């Protein structure tokens, strides 16, 4: 029998136990910066050096950390299900945790992109991207990140995946950023839905919805156990 389709929507909370801070800290800043300065097209226009340096530091940090048990569980689920990750995270911890189907809704830290042609996207070797680093057409490279006030190019495939999910797991996201926050609403009524978070986000009450409050590592362990118990009936 074909494996059931399991979709995981992850956010910053899944990488928190690896040592990458989440976004919505109480001071309203992101690693000491105003989000508008470092993660918007306007910020890039005003001070590209600052933006490049900000993402260089994020990359440097990402190289120092390792995937945690929650990332590993996402990968282990592939043994039993047809797993698709939709992540809002730009780190590569899902990849390094062993998952194979990963859609990066908000871009990828370890890729750069041409400012002249958005189709020119490059893998990065190290952590540094600087002024003067150019694409093959001679234009400045920028981080391959979806900034605030920018379109989300992969939202349509993400919606289609959500519509087809037999099981949908939301883990470690405050669900405050659209259109990602809306994906759960595309999941069919009959499908199993899990929400795992330290501080559970508000989700409309629906059929087959399990809210699991806790860390991503322990919460995902519970999801794994629940799914394995029910697997025969899914
Ligand atoms: N385990 C589980 N959940 C956790 C943990 C943990 N160890 N630590 C924090 N959380 C939860 C928080 O309770 C919160 O609900 O993770 C969530 C993180 O929320 P945000 O910081 O808002 O991150 P996210 O939802 O991924 O942000 C979405 O916004 O800033 C933009 O583009 C950026 O992709 C990002 C998007």
Report how far ligand 1's centroid is from the alpha carbon of 174 (Å). 5
Same fold, 1-20+67-106+152-234 and 21-64+112-145: no
The residue annotated as part of the active site, out of 71, 94, 104, 106, is: 106
Asked: is 1-20+67-106+152-234 a CATH 1.10.10.10 domain? The reply is no
Report how far ligand 1's centroid is from the alpha carbon of 141 (Å). 28
Report how far ligand 1's centroid is from the alpha carbon of 225 (Å). 24
The pLDDT value recorded for residue 15 is 97
pTM: 0.97
- pLDDT exceeds 90 at position 32: no
Q: Is the CB of 203 under 6 A from ligand 1?
A: no
Sign of CA dihedral 227, 163, 83, 110: negative
Q: Is the CB of 220 under 6 A from ligand 1?
A: no
The pLDDT value recorded for residue 232 is 77
Ligand 1 atom with minimal separation from the 180 CA: 28
pLDDT digits (tens, 9 = 90+) for 115-155: 999 999 999 989 999 999 999 999 999 999 999 999 999 99
- Yes or no: say if 58 and 128 are a contact pair by the CB < 8 Å rule: no
d(CA 124, CA 137): 17
Q: Is the CB of 149 under 6 A from ligand 1?
A: no
Tokens 């990359």, residue located: 59
233/129: higher pLDDT = 129
Cis ω for the linkage preceding 179 (within 30 of 0): yes
Ligand 1 atom with minimal separation from the 17 CA: 7
Which residues, in sequence order, are bridge partners of residue 195? 170, 211
Exposed / middle / buried, residue 133 (Cβ in 10 Å: 0-12, 13-18, 19+): middle
Q: What is the rounded (10 degree) CA torsion for 114, 180, 70, 167? A: -130
| 71 part of the active site | no
- Sequence spans of domains, the chain: 1-20+67-106+152-234, 21-64+112-145
Ligand 1 atom with minimal separation from the 11 CA: 26
The pLDDT value recorded for residue 48 is 98
d(CA 178, CA 183): 9
Q: Report the share of the chain in percent with pLDDT over 70.
A: 98
Tokens 């992101």, residue located: 30
8/125: higher pLDDT = 8
Please give the CATH number for the structural domain made up of 21-64+112-145. 3.30.1600.10
Element (H, E) at 84: strand 82-87
The pLDDT value recorded for residue 116 is 97
């Amino acid at each position: 029998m074909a494996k059931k389709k399991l979709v995981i929507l992850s956010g910053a909370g899944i990488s928190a136990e690896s040592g990458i801070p989440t976004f919505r800290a109480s001071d309203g800043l992101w690693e000491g910066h105003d989000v508008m300065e470092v993660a918007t097209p306007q910020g890039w226009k005003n001070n590209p050096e600052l933006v490049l340096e900000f993402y260089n530091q994020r990359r440097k940090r990402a190289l120092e950390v390792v995937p945690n048990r929650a990332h590993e569980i996402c990968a282990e689920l592939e043994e039993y299900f047809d797993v698709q990750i939709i992540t809002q995270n730009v780190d590569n911890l899902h990849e390094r945790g062993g998952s194979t189907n990963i859609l990066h809704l908000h871009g990828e830290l370890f890729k750069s992109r041409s400012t002249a042609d958005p189709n020119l996207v490059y893998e990065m070797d190290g952590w540094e991207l600087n002024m003067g680093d150019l694409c093959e057409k001679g234009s400045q490279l920028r981080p391959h990140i979806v900034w605030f006030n920018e379109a989300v190019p992969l939202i349509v495939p993400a919606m289609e995946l959500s519509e087809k999910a037999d099981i949908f797991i939301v883990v470690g996201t405050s669900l405050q950023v659209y259109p990602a926050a809306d994906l759960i609403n595309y999941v069919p009524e009959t499908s199993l839905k899990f929400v795992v978070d330290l501080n559970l986000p508000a989700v409309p009450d629906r059929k087959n919805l399990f809210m699991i409050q806790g860390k991503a590592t322990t919460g995902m362990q519970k999801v794994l156990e629940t799914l394995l118990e029910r697997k025969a009936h899914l």
